[in-house]
Structure 1
Amino acid sequence: ESTGNSRILLTERGASFGYNTLVTDMRGLPIMAQTGWPVIMDATHAVQSPGGQDNSSGGDRRMAPVLARAAVATGIAGVFIECHPDPDHAPSDGPNMIRMTDMPALIEVLMKIDATAKCHPISID
């Protein structure tokens, strides 16, 4: 903002917690939203295990939809989710990615949660 940029998104991607672990504190999402900037949840990065597979990062893609659902329930502006037709053979971030065939159902659920969250906004004032 101080440089004249008015196109700002705040992104939650998880924070380091010990070795090879990222965690997401959902309390931070409404706090970030108080800035007035749109808040985005990077659900697939947040399940990453940095360095968890010796020379590369591991992760637990099963938890990405869980984090996405929880984040959307807080009323955030959007979700970033990496997907791939064959995550286990993706050139990078495969352990975190959602299978492309699973995306339509996930998006449908997230849209329903989002509609409810927007009708009942969270206030932490």
Structure 2
Amino acid sequence: MESVGEMKCIKNLTYLSDYADDLIVDPRNFEWMREANCPVVADITHSLQQPAGKKLEGGGVASGGLRELIPCIARTAVAVGVDGIFMEVHNDPLNAPVDGPTQWPLRHLEELLEELVTIGRVSKGKQQFKIDLTPYRD
């Protein structure tokens, strides 16, 4: 999302690759998106949807999802230094009107966010590593 008039932007990564019926989050893309000099936001829950979906009674389709991987993808994104995360949260995910299979239970939100804040504080994900390629000698 970019606002050209104010020269402000946010880069959002939901997923990069669509392989068969699976979305693939590639952490390298967080680093590459940072090159645009915009805040990078990881869309955690949508990246775990199963896009093939299942047919609903009465027509239409619904996406499945991998809710159990939300902490894994969120930890990865925060560790590599994203500026923010997007997550869909619901008090009753099994009865959520949309995206239920990838809704994070509200009862577990505080615990997960506390962990992500801790990871963000200790991670050096936003720092460029200076690689010295000269021969190493003791």
TM-score higher than 0.5 here?
yes
In 1, Cα distance between equivalents of 2:31 and 2:129: 7
In 2, Cα distance between equivalents of 1:3 and 1:70: 30
Matched with 1:123 is 128
Deviations 1:11-45 (A, max 9, x none): 11013423321110001101111211000001001
Judging changes above 3 Å, is the alpha-carbon distance between structure 1 residues 124 and 28 closer, same or farther for their aligned structure 2 residues?
farther
Equivalent residues of 2:43, 2:86 under 8 A apart? yes
Q: Does 1:109 align with 2:115?
A: yes
Matched with 2:136 is none
Matched with 1:30 is 31
Equivalent residues of 1:14, 1:23 under 8 A apart? yes
Deviation at 1:2, TM superposition (A): 8.2
Residue in structure 2 matching 1:75, options 67, 78, 81: 81
Superposed counterparts of 1:1-125, under 5 Å: 3-54=4-55, 55-118=61-124, 121-123=126-128
Q: 5+ residue gaps in structure 1?
A: none
Q: 5+ residue gaps in structure 2?
A: 56-60, 131-138
Larger Rg: 2
Worse-matched range after superposition: 7-16 or 35-44: 7-16
Q: TM-score, normalised by structure 1?
A: 0.89
Judging changes above 3 Å, is the alpha-carbon distance between structure 1 residues 95 and 105 closer, same or farther for their aligned structure 2 residues?
same
Moved beyond 6 Å, runs of 4+: none
Q: TM-score, normalised by structure 2?
A: 0.81
- The alignment of Structure 1 onto Structure 2 pairs a total of residues equal to 124
Identity of aligned residues (%): 35
- Greater helix share, structure number: 1
In 1, Cα distance between equivalents of 2:113 and 2:19: 32
CA RMSD of aligned residues (A): 1.9
Q: Tell me the amino acid that sits aligned with residue 71 of structure 2.
A: P
